[in-house]
Structure formats: C-alpha cells, structure tokens
Amino acid sequence: MSEPEAEKPLDFIRTRIQEDQQAGKNDGKVHTRFPPEPNGYLHLGHAKSICLNFGIAQEFGGLCNLRLDDTNPVAEKTEYAEAIQDDLRWLGFDWEDRFFHASDYFDKLHSWAVQLIKAGKAFVCDLSFEEMKAHRGNLIEPGKNSPFRERTVEENLELFEQMRLGEFPDGTKTLRAKIDMSSPNLNLRDPVIYRIIHQEHPKTGNKWKIYPSYDFAHGQSDSLEGITHSICTLEFEHHRPLYDWLCQNLGIHHPQQIEFARLNLNYTVMSKRKMLRLVEEGHVNGWDDPRMPTLQGMRRRGYTANAIRDFCEKVGVAKRENVIEVELLEHCLRHDLNRCAPRRLGVLNPLKLTISNYPDGQVEEVDAVNNPEDPEAGTRPVSFSKNIYIDRNDFMEDPPKKYFRMSPGREVRLKYAYYVTCTEVIKDSDGEVIELICEYDPQSRGGDSPDGRKVRGTIQWVDASTAQKVEVRLYDRLFKTADPEKTEDGGDFIDHLNPDSLKVISHALVEASVEQFEVGKAFQLERVGYFCLDPDGQGNDGLLLNRTVAMRDSWAKANK
C-alpha cells in the first residue's frame, strides 16, 4: 500500500492569504484575478499565474476574475483577447460571469482623475516624454519639479477636459499625479496617469482620445472588482507604493498586493515582446509554432492541460528570480502522457522486411494493447502480412555483443505478432541495406514463446498492406543556449536560435488508425516517442505529425 501523501506546506502567498482569512480580513473572503494585457498570446509564465490565481480561489472558497488590461489600444487586438479566453478554458479554468475589461472602468477612472485634480493632487503637464525623462532624475539624484506643476485647479480641469475632447495632438500633454519628485521610488515622481492617444479602441471605439496609464488603471480596477489579493510578479513591487497612494487618496477599497518571481524556463524566452519578434521576423511559423512557449504552440505540439498544471504546481512560487529546467516540464508531460496516451505502432525510418515462409496474399489481424497503464483501454486489431516495415535503427549487420535487436541469424519478437529470424540481407549497388528476408515461427503468434525459448529483443513494425504514410516534424529546443536572454556585448537573443530546432522526416509509416486521432491529442508510437496530428492535416508526404516529446526522461533519471 502506498503511503498517504504528506500535507504539503503552504507557500508564502497561501500562508499570507490563510492568515488574512483566519483574521477575518475582507470578511474572510478571497477574491483574485488574472489580468493579462491583450497584446500577445499567453505563454507558460501566464499559465503559472493562472494556476496560482484560479487555484487559490478554489482552495480558499473564493472567486477569480478574468480581466483584460486593455488600456493601450495601440498594441491590443481582438485576436489576442479571444485566444486568451480559449487558452484559459483549455487549461481548465472558469471565470463564470466575471469577465471584465479595464476599459469597462474608463468613465470611473476619468472621474477619479478629475477628483485628484480637484484635490490638487494631479496636474496637466506640457513636457514632452523626453523632457519628462530628463526631469525625472535617477536612483541617486532627485528629480526636478515640472514647470507646470503649480497650475491652478481650474486651469488643470479645463486643460484635462480639452485633452478629453481631443483638442491636442498625441504626446503634447499628460495628466500627472502630484506626489514627490524627490522620492527614492521613481514610480512616485509625479507619474503620468493619463496620456493622449488618438486611436480607436477595440471596446470603446472612438469615445476616448485620452487613456489611463497602466498604473492608474490596474490597482483601481482591482479595487473596483473587490479583489482582496492582487497577486503579481516582482517587477510590480516598486509600483505598490503608487497603488497604495492612489487607493488612499481616492478613498477606495485597498487590495493587498503580493509579488512573486516570474517563471523562467531555460532554452526559451518568456516575453511577449520577444515572442512577437520571433514571429514577425519569421524565425518560427507563427504564435502557435510547436516550438514556441505559447500555450497555443504547446497545444499544437500535443501538450496536455494536465501536464502544464502539474508543472506549475511543481515549480511552486518563489520570492526570488530563478530559472526552471525544461526537463522538468517534459517530465510532467511524459508522466501524464504515459498515463493517458493511446499506443500505436510506427517506424520513422522504414526498412522493408519480407517473411519468406508466410503465405502470399494472406493478411491476418493481431491484437495490440491500447494502453498498458489503463486496463480499460483494451486492445485493437492490427493487420499483419508477408511484407512489413521495421525501423532501420533496429537492425545491425555486425552488431556488438549486447545488441539484442535484429541482426543476421538472431531471433527477435515483432511486438504483438511473431518471432522472426533474419536469414538474408539485401543491399543496393552502394552497399546500403534495402531489405531483410526473415523466417517466422507460426507457433509464436501474439509474440508468445511456443516452447519457453527466450528472445531478448522486441521491436515495433507496420504492415505494408495497410500502413499510412506520414511526414513527421521533430522539434528540438528553440535556442541552443540555456539562457538566450543573457546577451553580453550588446548581442541579440536571436543569435542564440538553434538552427536544428526543426527536423522533417518524410516517408515515415504508422498504423492506419492514427488518422482517426483528434488533432493535437498525443499518442505514443511505441518505443519511438509521443506524437500528435497537426491541424494543417497533410504534409508533402501524407499526414502531418508533430513530435510532442521523445521517450527518454532525463529529468526523472537525474532526480531518482
């Protein structure tokens, strides 16, 4: 009997939330949110944030909202917004009727800006973005007050209204909070809270010519939704005092912000900006390229939601930046696929094999196990005949001592079928092996020994009379270095791309029933690896298969 699983200690975020709940803070309620900006596709890092926010809500009997932080109409697209919802559902999370947009709050945010102006806590500034930067100072030197800082409330109200009406071009004026230009925290040096952008917005159309900054929208959106715990990544730690200042000065509900370290994975990049470059410069074939760390790419590659959720749980949350090894991700994937992926037979490098003593024209069916991990999955019939194919890598003419696969004179088991012995090797004029002639033992049907004699090698095969041709795409790491983002001497992460990240194998052969699998749903080709059908359907050479992951689990080995 297996030991009952030990109760896992709570991470620092859950500990904090549990304390708040036990102390009766927010009447014991827990309400989180996942707030992506719809300016790109979600990646694995977002999955971590999703699992954390939705997971915590579930564990503490609370709720989690989905909110699109759509404050910048320049970079945002409806295409992204739709993919975000699709990915979230696929990951298995449900926001019920709590789907919001920061743009739902534009009226409210505008009135709060007016409130700050009236209280003498915000002013319209005519400095350009360059001038503002020059005034801002740095970590050592304090900033300088804007010459427009002392405008009267009336003047500010009038100018802000003119901004709203679209009377000024982009970049000529901003609304800034009046906080402290000498604060050691740069975010408190009179930050911009509204800017002029003459751009149609996907949700609000042409209503607005001014848009709130992310910092002015984010905390207040959380506040408006009654979020109790605003969980975010470390880069927002220094924004927290600004959010606090805003909530305090507006006199509104104050969510507790808690920061954690972003998920980083080696051999890839995890930033929408960098992924956009990969797509736009054609280094990959779109956002859903199976080599991309996007959820869309991973889905196309055959990843399961289960594996991704398991991975996010295993990596946990940390307060300090760290880099997770991609082997752990692949381990979680293999673990899940081993459990649920149906098995099929296939050969990537077919080598013809003819059984000399098998009756001409006969085709029979043998029973193959669908999933040894799942007795309920049963068996399926697979056709077998005189002509079959095995994998070229399973044959050696002059094998070393411990080689148990096929070689002249050695008997091996064709999985689920028969024992065969190679009696002749046929070569072309270049000396390359093009066909093997074998004899089979009709008594060994099903791959069972007829008389107790043992064979050490078992190999997979496909029947020539029914095999399905496929083109297989084998993927390797997208980058050849573990940390492509670390670019010294002004280098570029693009320079670290792995030129061999995609290899195409044409003329591979699989069992015909592979055709019936759902696109993106991984199956195992026994002894070869996990694969899935690509949505593009047909390659140049039959069905198009993506390799999800190879069989070998180096992580499990190293962490035994």
Write out the residues near Mg ion by the rule CB under 5 A.
Answer: 37
State both tokens at 202: 């996907």
Provide the phi-psi class of 142: left if phi over 0, else alpha when psi is between -120 and 50, else beta. Answer: beta
Among 117, 127, 270, 414, binds ligand ATP (CB under 6 A): 270
Of 31-39, 282-290, 379-387, 444-452, the window that binds ligand ATP (rule: CB under 6 A) is 31-39
C-beta closer to ligand ATP: residue 85 or 387: 85
Task: Give residue 306's Cα distance to chain centre.
Answer: 12
Q: Can you tell me the distance from the alpha carbon of 164 to that of 486, in angstroms, rounded to the nearest whole number?
A: 42
**Amino acid at position 197, single letter:** I
13, 30, 31, 46: residue in contact with ligand ATP (rule CB under 6 A):
46
Beta bridge partners of 175: 124, 194
Crossing angle of the two packed helices 12-22 and 44-59, in degrees rounded to 10: 30
Quick one: which segment of 46-54, 101-109, 440-448, 531-539 binds ligand ATP (CB under 6 A)?
46-54
- Contact with ligand ATP (CB under 6 A): which of 26, 30, 31, 36? 36
The yes or no reply on residue 271 touching ligand ATP (CB under 6 A) is yes
- Minimum distance from residue 48 beta carbon to ligand ATP (Å): 4
**Around Cβ 346, how many Cβ atoms within 10 Å?**
28
37 in active site: yes
- Does 164 help bind ligand ATP (rule: CB under 6 A)? no
* Distances, alpha carbon 351 to alpha carbons 258, 312, 368, 412, 428, in Å: 59, 42, 21, 16, 13
Q: CB nearest Mg ion: which residue? A: 37
Quick check: 262 binds ligand ATP (CB under 6 A)? yes
Residue nearest to ligand ATP (CB): 45
CB of 267 to ligand ATP, least distance (A): 15
What whole-number distance in Å separates Cα of residue 67 and Cα of residue 512? Answer: 45
- Chain centroid to CA 476: how far? 16
312 touches which of Mg ion, ligand ATP, none (CB within 5 to 8 A by kind)?
Answer: none
Q: Which residue type occupies 509?
A: L
Q: How far is the CB of 174 from Mg ion (least distance, A)?
A: 20
Using CB under 6 A as the binding rule, whether residue 176 contacts ligand ATP is answered as: no
Contacts of 5 (CB under 8 A, 6+ apart): none
Q: How far is the CB of 37 from Mg ion (least distance, A)?
A: 5
Question: Between 262 and 405, whose beta carbon lies closer to ligand ATP?
Answer: 262
Site for ligand ATP contains 233 (CB under 6 A): yes
Q: Which does 272 bind (CB under 5 to 8 A by kind): Mg ion, ligand ATP, none?
A: ligand ATP
437 φ/ψ angles, rounded to the nearest 5 degrees:
-105, 130
> Is residue 386 annotated as part of the catalytic site, yes or no?
no
Q: For residue 272, what is the enclosing H or E element? A: helix 272-280
From the candidates 108, 262, 277, 352, which is the catalytic residue? 262
Please identify, using beta-carbon distances, which residue of 48 and 189 lies nearer to ligand ATP: 48
Residue 293 interacting with ligand ATP (CB under 6 A): no
Rounded to whole angstroms, the Cα distance separating 93 from 46 reads 13
CB of 214 to Mg ion, least distance (A): 7
Active site residue 262: yes
For residues 543 and 168, give the distance between their C-alpha atoms in angstroms, rounded to a whole number: 57
Contact 125, 174 (CB under 8 A): yes
Of residues 272, 291, 334, 386, which has the active-site annotation? 272
Least distance to Mg ion, CB of residue 339, Å: 36
d(CA 504, CA 384): 28
Distance between CA 222 and CA 102 in Å, rounded?
A: 9
Residue 62 binds ligand ATP (CB under 6 A): no
Query: Toward ligand ATP, which CB reaches closer, 453 or 486?
Result: 486
Looking at the DSSP assignment, which residues form a beta bridge with residue 324? 265
Q: Which residues lie near ligand ATP (CB under 6 A)?
A: 35-37, 45-46, 48-49, 232-233, 262-263, 270-273
Question: Which of the residues are catalytic?
Answer: 37, 262, 272
